[in-house]
Amino acid sequence: MAAAGQAAIRIESLQRLIILQVKDGR
């Protein structure tokens, strides 16, 4: 269960970074 929680946090952080990069690019 803990591993799944950590994976979800990593996915959210990656999505945020990607969104920020896309906004900066545009």
Indicate the pTM of the whole model: 0.58
Give the DSSP letter of residue 10: H
- State both tokens at 26: 């545009």
CA dihedral for 7, 9, 14, 15, sign (positive or negative):
positive
Predicted pLDDT of residue 14: 98
pLDDT of residue 10: 98
- Would you state the pLDDT for residue 24? 83
pLDDT of residue 25: 80
Three-state SS for 26? coil
pLDDT in tens, 1-26: 689 999 999 999 999 999 999 998 87
Residue with tokens 């799944």: 4
Which pair of structure tokens corresponds to residue 22?
A: 């896309």
